[in-house]
């Protein structure tokens, strides 16, 4: 068992077999989470540092819990308390943490490629917990796990991703992952929030939400950030809501009756999604969060097996 790689940096360089292995292991991990005593000794003696240079609640807590469930020792370092503010470079910060004999670093950073930059220069395993608008591989894996539980196969599954695609690392990882699994993807956003260069991704796109909704198995809603208005990507939030907010009314009128709704969180109620839908039986939002802990346990386990028992070759 184990992944024969030091780091987990993106969905881009994961094979389908590796994705399957992560998901299968995550299903075992999920079982631990249902026990009355939710802890296994698997990673006893392994030290994990969570380096979060960007605010995060959900992902940081999810990783921290995953580490605790597997009995790893963990430390958290956030930008606010770090020496980054004192002018230390990212690499120096990471090397200092590594010098404390840390085995795994979970890195969240606002700039694309930062975990890749560190991975190349560190002995410790690096897990990308979100790098700028580039990738968020653990989010995509937990989404894929959530979908897998609800559908027998990914082949020809029709998924629409709706919202700020351009600035979303979740969308990039999700597109890469779902394409690998065989799903069909449609992106829906106003033109200013959709990249001009979509061809290499092999996806369809549609500006109109009404035209996007029919026939889809899953609607994956992205969070819209309020700053986009100041950067003139949107004339106003009000106008975004008018055209792109998923309301109960639009859902009933245009979408299939069996459609399921996903969202990476945190949700802006009343902006990209109506409260009534977020809380409805259509919503998988909280299932995604549960899968998140299991997937992160799985990744921590699979990456450290190489360290504990050597690489496959």
Residue numbers of the site for other proteins (CB under 8 A)?
A: 12, 89-91, 109, 111-114, 116-117, 131-135, 169, 172, 195-201
The per-residue DSSP string of 193-253 comes to: GS-S--GGGT-EEES-HHHHSTT-SEEEEPPPPTHHHHTTSSS-HHHHHHHH-B-HHHHHH
DSSP state of 102: -
Q: Nearer Cβ to other proteins, position 74 or 114?
A: 114
Phi, psi dihedral angles at 146 (to 5 degrees): -65, -40
Shortest distance, position 196 Cβ to other proteins, whole Å: 8
Coil, helix or strand for 144?
helix
Shortest distance, position 90 Cβ to other proteins, whole Å: 5
* Gap between the Cα atoms of 8 and 14, Å rounded: 8
Q: Nearer Cβ to other proteins, position 65 or 113?
A: 113
Shortest distance, position 241 Cβ to other proteins, whole Å: 25
Contact 298, 26 (CB under 8 A): yes
Shortest distance, position 94 Cβ to other proteins, whole Å: 10
Contact 221, 284 (CB under 8 A): no
Contact 125, 6 (CB under 8 A): yes
Q: Nearer Cβ to other proteins, position 77 or 278?
A: 77
Q: Compute the chain's Rg from CA coordinates.
A: 20
CB atoms within 10 A of CB 60: 18
Shortest distance, position 255 Cβ to other proteins, whole Å: 28
Q: Nearer Cβ to other proteins, position 5 or 276?
A: 5
Shortest distance, position 166 Cβ to other proteins, whole Å: 8
Q: Nearer Cβ to other proteins, position 132 or 241?
A: 132
Q: Nearer Cβ to other proteins, position 70 or 170?
A: 170
Coil, helix or strand for 307?
helix
């Amino acid at each position: 068992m184990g992944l024969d790689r030091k780091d987990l940096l993106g969905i881009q360089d994961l094979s389908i077999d590796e994705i399957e292995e992560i998901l299968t292991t995550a299903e075992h991990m999920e079982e631990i989470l249902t026990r009355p005593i939710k802890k296994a000794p698997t990673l006893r003696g392994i030290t994990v540092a969570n380096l979060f240079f960007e605010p995060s609640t959900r992902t940081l807590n999810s990783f921290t819990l995953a580490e605790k469930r597997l009995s790893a020792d963990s430390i958290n370092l956030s930008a606010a308390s770090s020496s980054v503010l004192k002018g230390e470079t990212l690499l120096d910060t990471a090397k200092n943490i590594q010098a404390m004999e840390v085995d795994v670093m979970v890195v969240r950073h606002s700039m694309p490629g930062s975990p890749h930059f560190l991975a190349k220069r560190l002995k410790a395993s690096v897990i990308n917990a979100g790098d700028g608008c580039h990738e968020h591989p653990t989010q995509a894996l937990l989404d894929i796990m959530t979908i897998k539980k609800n559908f027998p196969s990914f082949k020809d599954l029709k998924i629409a991703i709706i919202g700020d695609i351009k600035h979303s690392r979740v969308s990039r990882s999700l597109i890469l992952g779902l394409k690998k699994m065989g799903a069909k993807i449609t992106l829906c956003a106003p033109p200013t929030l959709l990249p001009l260069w979509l061809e290499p991704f092999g996806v369809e796109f549609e500006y109109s939400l009404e035209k996007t909704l029919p026939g889809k198995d899953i609607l994956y809603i992205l969070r819209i950030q309020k700053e986009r208005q100041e950067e003139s990507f949107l004339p106003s939030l009000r106008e975004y809501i008018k055209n792109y907010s998923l309301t109960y009314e639009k859902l009933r009128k245009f979408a299939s009756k069996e459609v399921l709704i996903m969202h990476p969180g945190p949700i802006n109620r009343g902006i990209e999604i109506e409260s009534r839908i977020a809380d409805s039986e259509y919503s998988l939002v909280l299932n995604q969060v549960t899968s998140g802990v299991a997937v992160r346990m799985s990744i921590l386990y699979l990456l450290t097996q190489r360290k504990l028992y050597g690489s496959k070759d």
